[in-house]
Each structure stands twice: as C-alpha cells, then as structure tokens.
C-alpha cells in the first residue's frame, strides 16, 4: 500500500512543490490550506500521477486548527507516514509598527500549529515504528533578521525544536528534518517586491521545485538539517561562527534598507 503524506500550506510555492514531489515519489497526499480552489486544481494534477488525494480546506492559524485537522484525518481512516509542516507567513516591517493581532496570528500558525501538529501526528508514527516529519524553517532562523524580527525568531525556534526532537526520537523509526531555505521564488518573495525596492538579488532566489526536492531527499534519508544551496550553506556557517555583534549589525543594515525603501 502507498504511504500517505500530509502537506500544509500546499496551495502555492514550496508547499505545492512538496506535494508534487511526494506524489511523484509514490505517496498519496492530503493537501491542506485555506484556498480550496487552488487545492482542488493541484489535487487533480496529483491524481494524474496515480496518487489518491484528499483536500482539507481550513485556516491553520485558528486556535484549535491542529486538533481539528488531526480529527479530520482520523475520519479518513488513513495513517500519515510523512507530516510536512510547510504552512506559514510573515510581514515585512518594523516589529513595533505591526498590528499585534497579526503578530499573534503569525505565531499561532508558524509556531503553535506546527508544534501541535508534530505532537499529534508523530505519536501515531512512533506507535507504528515508522514515518518522518519535515518542518519548514529558514536561513533567517540562523541569525536575527531586522524587518522580519518575529518571523526569524520563530524560525529559530522551529529549527531548535526540530533538532531536539530528532535526538529524542532516535531508535523509534521516526525521523525529523528541518528544511531551511534561503530566498525562494514564492508568494512571500512577490510580497517583498511589492513592499520594498530593496530585496535579495535574483541570483540568490532559488526555485521552489529545487528546494522541495532537497527537502524530500533530506527527510526520506533521515537528515536532521537541510540547507539547500551553496550560498545559503556558507551564509549559515558564517552566521554561526562570526561574533554576534557583527552578524546583528550586518543584518541590521540590510533590514533597515528594506524597511525604509518602499
């Protein structure tokens, strides 16, 4: 029988490409996001690969969303073998200029829902003695990123959480991988371009497909951390070894340029 992958934030960008990769690699797929029409279109495409597909349209930033999604999957009577926590969003701008409710919504989706889904779906995986979790973080999780202060802090939590859980689950048959892409062609990058004239240079922007394939390969081979792309690997190494004041100051200069150049 085919394995099942559950992919959140599957309506576009890296999430949609991850769903495609899992389908092409022989998985059935549960697609989760808010935009039902986009999910339905993607589902039809994946069914063409021979995959069975379920679509669950819901807002994962809602407080009880993780439990509701888990219950919905239970009603499908399937075992999730791969949990892909891709759903997330960010805001470009100074933290104190943001709406506090928006900040809470971002923390709920990017952190609380991710942690809750991992807890709910990884427990049955451990009981079954097999499976993997792929959590989406970012290279911004390796250093403070002014302009994305709360987002980068959240991605640092996702990275640390995933690495810690990797060690806790050793010997269970279940692995956890954290995928940390740099700038990637997606709706998030499109949003940056509409809000600031300063952004990552084009040569640094990866395509979603290559990022998704790197994440899938890392997750299915049991790697703990995946940073796709040579430039991203080098930048995260430098961020980890350079004095913190240098890292903070360098990214502070870039962040202020993005904020102050609409």
Q: Among all residues, which ones are annotated catalytic?
A: 151
Burial category of 253 from C-beta neighbours within 10 Å (exposed 0-12, middle 13-18, buried 19 and up): exposed
User: 28-33 and 80-85 as β-strands: parallel, antiparallel, unpaired?
Assistant: unpaired
Rounded to whole angstroms, the Cα distance separating 126 from 169 reads 8
Unique residue bearing structure tokens 């371009």: 193
Are 220 and 116 in contact, with CB atoms under 8 Å apart? no
Q: What tokens appear for 167 in the block?
A: 């060690």
Q: What tokens appear for 160 in the block?
A: 């640390």
Rounded to whole angstroms, the Cα distance separating 5 from 219 reads 12
Query: DSSP class of residue 49?
Result: T
């Amino acid at each position: 029988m085919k394995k099942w992958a559950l992919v959140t934030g599957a309506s576009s960008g890296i999430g949609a490409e991850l769903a495609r990769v899992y389908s092409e690699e022989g998985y059935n797929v549960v697609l989760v996001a808010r935009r039902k029409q986009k999910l339905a279109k993607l589902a039809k495409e994946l069914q063409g690969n021979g995959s069975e597909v379920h679509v669950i349209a819901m807002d994962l930033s809602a407080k009880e969303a993780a439990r509701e999604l888990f219950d919905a999957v239970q009603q499908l009577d399937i075992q999730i073998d791969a949990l892909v926590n891709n759903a997330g969003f960010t805001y470009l701008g100074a933290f104190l200029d943001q709406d506090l409710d928006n900040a809470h919504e971002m923390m709920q989706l990017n952190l609380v829902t991710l942690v809750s889904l991992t807890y709910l779906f990884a427990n049955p995986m451990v009981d079954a003695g097999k499976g993997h979790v792929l959590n989406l973080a970012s290279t911004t999780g390796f250093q403070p990123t002014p302009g994305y202060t709360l987002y980068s802090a959240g991605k640092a939590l996702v990275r640390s959480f995933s690495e810690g859980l990797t060690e806790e689950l050793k010997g269970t048959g279940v692995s956890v991988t954290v995928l940390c892409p740099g700038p990637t062609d997606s709706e998030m990058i499109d949003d940056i371009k509409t809000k600031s004239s300063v952004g990552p240079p084009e040569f640094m922007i990866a395509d979603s497909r290559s990022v998704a394939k790197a994440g899938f390969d890392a997750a299915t081979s049991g790697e703990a951390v995946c940073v796709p792309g040579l430039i991203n690997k080098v930048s995260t190494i430098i961020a980890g070894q350079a004095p913190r004041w240098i890292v903070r100051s360098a990214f502070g200069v870039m962040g202020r340029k993005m904020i102050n150049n609409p």
